[in-house]
Amino acid sequence: MPALTLYHATRSRSAIALWMLEEVGAPYDIKLLKLSEGDNLKPDYLAINPMGKVPALKHGDAVVTEAAAICTYLADEFPANKLNVPVGTPRRGVYLKWLFFGPSVIEPAMMDRAFPRKESPRASTVGWRDFDTVLDIVAKALMRGPYLMGEQFTAADVVIGSGLRFGMMFKLIPERKEFAEYVARLGARPAAKRAEAKDKELSAA
């Protein structure tokens, strides 16, 4: 099996990929980068991710960057774990919607709220419409539960759950009951606990 290597910085968005790797359960190595020392902007890492951002994943010769893309990739590469909705399945459309909704709708809506512009963009001109509508849509999707895709836990939960957790932790997203319960449910997963413990351990080292 090709080797898996995660380029990781502690207490960062690469925790999303770390959690996903723990869900997959395949062996992997970690190359630790210190953002405070600018490791992510050094030439050897820029050759892996020219954006100078973590996470990045190497799988044999394949390099994947962007946390949501890494989760999608791992779910498809390790189908035995049933963390994806396979090609040819009608539910895959909704699954892909949630994988894209995290980085292209929730995150920009949240950051727009956190760092307001001088003039608010018209809701019809930005791809994420507006913060309140976005949160209502996510909350409604979670009412059925326990996961975004119903009974099946998928890579989409790793992406959306991580975003909600981060947002609530930094008070960028309100602690709505649906979000708090969902994030607690996800946090109780053994793989999520292992990833959190590993991140803490690496951070302390």
Ligand X SMILES: N[C@@H](CCC(=O)N[C@@H](CS)C(=O)NCC(=O)O)C(=O)O
Q: How far is the CB of 102 from ligand X (least distance, A)?
A: 8
- d(CA 155, CA 19) in angstroms, rounded, equals 10
Of residues 55 and 161, the one with the C-beta less far from ligand X? 55
Q: How far is the CB of 28 from ligand X (least distance, A)?
A: 17
- Interaction of residue 12 with ligand X, rule CB under 6 A: yes
- Interaction of residue 13 with ligand X, rule CB under 6 A: yes
Question: Which part of the chain contacts ligand X (CB under 6 A), choosing from 47-55, 127-135, 170-178, 186-194?
Answer: 47-55
- Interaction of residue 103 with ligand X, rule CB under 6 A: yes
- Interaction of residue 158 with ligand X, rule CB under 6 A: no
- Interaction of residue 108 with ligand X, rule CB under 6 A: no
Q: Which residues bind ligand X (CB under 6 A)?
A: 12-13, 35, 40, 52-55, 66-67, 103
